[in-house]
Amino acid sequence: MRKISIVFLLFLLTACYEPERNCDYFRNGTFKFEALVGTELETTTFVRNDSIEIDYFRGKSDTSAIRWINDCEYIVKKVNPKNQAEEKAVHIKILTTEGEKYNFEYNIVGEKKKQRGTATKVNSN
């Protein structure tokens, strides 16, 4: 009986835990995102001002429109796509926030495969 009580208590403690999600803080600003591309760690910097995002990657910039679904989810679509792959919109969902960082998952709209990443806010606009 004691084991059941301990398990039940642990369940209650973890069921009440909800990770921090201060998504509004990350709606605007300058951010940095690092990803492994092949064998190299690449850095993308992007500036977001609610409805527009400008990405800077390998010395080039690209502009995307943003449509917010709710406080923590949005759709990004390139304004001037250069090929069919760039025409596809990306769904981004902020999962957790902590200090200047947020963890997110993303996928191409309509596809099930999701990936995860972490972005760091480096400047407030």
pLDDT, tens only, 40-89 = 888 999 999 989 999 999 899 999 999 999 999 999 999 999 899 889 99
CA distance 83 to 65: 17
Q: Does any domain span residue 9? A: no
**Which tokens in the block code for residue 61?**
């910039």
64 to 3, 10, 12, 88: CA distances (angstroms): 54, 45, 43, 11
Q: For residue 112, give the CATH number of its domain.
A: 2.40.128.490
CA distance 89 to 104: 16
pLDDT at 51: 93
Q: Does any domain span residue 6? A: no
Domain count, the chain: 1
Q: Does any domain span residue 7? A: no
CA distance 84 to 64: 15
The whole-model pTM stands at: 0.79
* Res. 36 pLDDT band, cuts 50 70 90: confident
Find the domain containing 67 and state its range: 20-123
Q: Does any domain span residue 11? A: no
Higher pLDDT, 7 or 118: 118
Q: Does any domain span residue 31? A: yes
Question: Would the pLDDT of 15 be above 70?
Answer: no
Among 19, 35, 26, which residue's Cα sits nearest to residue 96? 19
Number of H helices, E strands in the chain: 2, 8
Q: Does any domain span residue 116? A: yes
Q: Does any domain span residue 68? A: yes
Q: Does any domain span residue 103? A: yes
